[in-house]
C-alpha cells in the first residue's frame, strides 16, 4: 500500500490564491510589494530557483528587482549593493540567493540585509525571534513544511519528530518550528550514532541532508509521515535503475534526459512504508517559493502601514 502524496504544488497554489487579494489591496492603497533578488554568478541550480521565484512574483503582481552581479564581485561591492536595497523605500524584501562564490564572506553579506527586509528569515535577529517564538520572517522551506502539514491535517502536537540535517537554512529552523508546534524533536546529523535506529522512532521524519537516497527502508517505521527536502541530481544509470526500476515513466524520462532528481529518501521505501510523503520533485520545492511570496507580502504590509 502506498502512502498518501503531500502535494506541494497544490499547497503552493492555495497560498498564492490567498495572497492575491492582499497584493491587490496594497496596490490599491499605495504600490505593489517589491522583492529584490540578488543572484551572484551562474550556478545552474540557483538560476532555475531564481527563475521560479521571479515567475511567482509575476503571477502575483509583485515587483521583482533582479540583480545579477558577476561571480567575481567582491564582498565589499556586494555589501554596498545590498545597502542600496536596504535604503530604497520602494523595496520591501531582499533575497540573496545562496550558495555565494567561495571568495565572498557569506556571514558579512547575511548581516548586511536589514532584518526588516529579510525575505529568507536568515538574519540572526530573525533567527533569534524564531527561537523566542516572536513574529518575524521565517525561513521559507521549514515554514512551508509546517504550513503543508497543517493544511493536510497531519497532527504535530505530541508526535515524535526526527529532523535529519542541521543546516541554518532547513534543519535548525525546522526543529524549532516543530518544537513550537509541540512535537518532541530529535535532530540527527553526520555524527549521529545509529542513524537508522533514531529515524525509526519518528512519527514525522524530515530529511534534509543533501545526499541521494541516504534514508533507506531500514530507517523507516510503517506509518511514518516523510518530508523529503532533498533535491539531488543523479546521472549514473545503475543508480537510477536501482532507485526507479519500478517506475517506467521515470526511467523513460532518464533515458531521454540522462539525469533525474532524487530526494534524500529512497523513493520506493518511502512510498510503501509511509502514511504520507512528499514527492521529489513537486513536494517541498513549491512550498519554499510560496512562503517567500508570503514573507514578501507580509513585509510590504508592515512597511506600507
User: Can you name the residues that pair with 178 across neighbouring β-strands?
Assistant: none
CATH number, residue 208? 3.40.50.720
Question: Choosing from 92, 118, 120, 264, which is the catalytic residue?
Answer: 120
CA neighbor of 133 nearest in space, from 171, 204, 182, 92: 182
In a domain, 275, yes or no: yes
In a domain, 21, yes or no: no
- Could you confirm whether 43 is annotated as catalytic? no
**Does 174 share its domain with 266?**
yes
Question: How many folded domains does the chain comprise?
Answer: 2
Tell the burial category of 299 from Cβ atoms under 10 Å away from its Cβ (0-12, 13-18, 19+). buried
**Does 168 share its domain with 95?**
no
**Does 51 share its domain with 111?**
yes
- Could you confirm whether 97 is annotated as catalytic? yes
Q: Read off the pTM.
A: 0.94
Question: How confident is the prediction along the chain (305 residues), in pLDDT tens digits per residue?
Answer: 578 999 999 999 999 999 999 999 999 999 999 999 999 988 777 888 888 898 999 999 999 999 999 999 999 999 999 999 999 999 999 999 988 999 999 999 999 999 999 999 999 999 999 999 999 999 999 999 999 999 999 999 999 999 999 999 999 999 999 999 999 999 999 999 999 999 999 999 999 999 999 999 999 999 999 999 999 999 999 999 999 988 899 999 999 999 999 999 999 999 999 999 999 999 999 999 999 999 999 999 999 98
119 near 299, Cβ under 8 Å? yes
- Could you confirm whether 264 is annotated as catalytic? no
Question: For residue 142, how many other CB atoms are within 10 A of its CB?
Answer: 30
Question: Choosing from 53, 117, 159, 172, which is the catalytic residue?
Answer: 53
Q: Which domain holds residue 269?
A: 140-285
In a domain, 294, yes or no: no
In a domain, 90, yes or no: yes
- The set of cell numbers assigned to 67 is 540583480
Q: Is 210 left (phi over 0), alpha (psi -120 to 50) or beta?
A: left
Question: Choosing from 97, 172, 228, 298, which is the catalytic residue?
Answer: 97
259 near 203, Cβ under 8 Å? no
Final residue before a domain boundary, out of 100, 116, 132: 116
CATH number, residue 37? 3.40.50.10860
E strand or H helix that includes residue 83: helix 75-87
In a domain, 163, yes or no: yes
Amino acid at each position: 500500500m502506498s502512502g498518501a502524496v503531500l502535494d506541494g504544488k497544490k499547497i503552493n497554489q492555495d497560498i498564492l490564491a490567498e495572497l492575491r487579494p492582499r497584493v491587490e489591496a496594497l496596490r490599491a492603497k499605495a504600490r505593489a510589494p517589491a522583492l529584490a533578488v540578488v543572484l551572484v554568478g551562474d550556478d545552474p541550480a540557483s538560476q532555475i530557483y531564481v527563475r521560479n521565484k521571479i515567475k511567482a512574483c509575476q503571477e502575483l503582481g509583485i515587483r521583482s528587482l533582479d540583480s545579477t552581479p558577476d561571480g567575481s564581485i567582491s564582498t565589499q561591492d556586494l555589501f554596498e549593493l545590498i545597502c542600496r536595497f536596504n535604503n530604497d523605500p520602494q523595496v520591501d524584501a531582499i533575497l540573496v540567493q545562496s550558495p555565494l562564490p567561495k571568495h565572498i564572506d557569506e556571514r558579512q553579506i547575511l548581516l548586511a540585509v536589514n532584518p526588516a527586509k529579510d525575505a529568507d528569515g536568515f538574519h540572526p535577529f530573525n533567527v533569534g525571534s524564531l527561537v523566542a517564538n516572536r513574529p518575524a520572517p521565517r525561513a521559507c522551506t521549514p515554514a512551508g513544511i509546517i504550513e503543508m502539514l497543517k493544511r493536510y491535517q497531519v497532527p504535530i502536537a505530541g508526535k515524535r519528530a526526527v529532523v535529519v540535517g542541521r543546516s541554518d537554512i532547513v534543519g535548525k529552523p525546522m526543529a524549532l518550528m516543530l518544537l513550537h508546534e509541540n512535537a518532541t524533536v530529535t535532530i540527527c546529523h553526520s555524527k549521529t550514532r545509529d542513524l537508522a535506529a533514531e529515524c525509526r522512532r519518528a512519527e514525522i521524519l524530515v530529511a534534509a541532508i543533501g545526499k541521494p537516497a541516504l534514508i533507506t527502508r531500514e530507517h523507516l517505521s510503517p506509518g511514518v509521515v516523510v518530508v523529503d527536502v532533498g533535491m539531488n541530481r543523479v546521472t549514473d544509470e545503475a543508480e537510477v535503475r536501482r532507485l526507479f526500476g519500478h517506475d517506467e515513466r521515470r526511467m523513460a524520462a532518464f533515458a531521454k534526459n540522462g539525469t533525474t532528481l532524487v530526494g534524500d529518501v529512497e523513493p520506493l521505501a518511502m512510498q510503501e512504508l509511509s502514511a504520507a510523503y512528499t514527492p521529489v520533485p513537486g513536494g517541498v520545492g513549491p512550498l519554499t517559493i510560496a512562503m517567500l511570496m508570503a514573507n514578501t507580502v507580509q513585509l510590504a504590509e508592515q512597511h506600507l502601514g
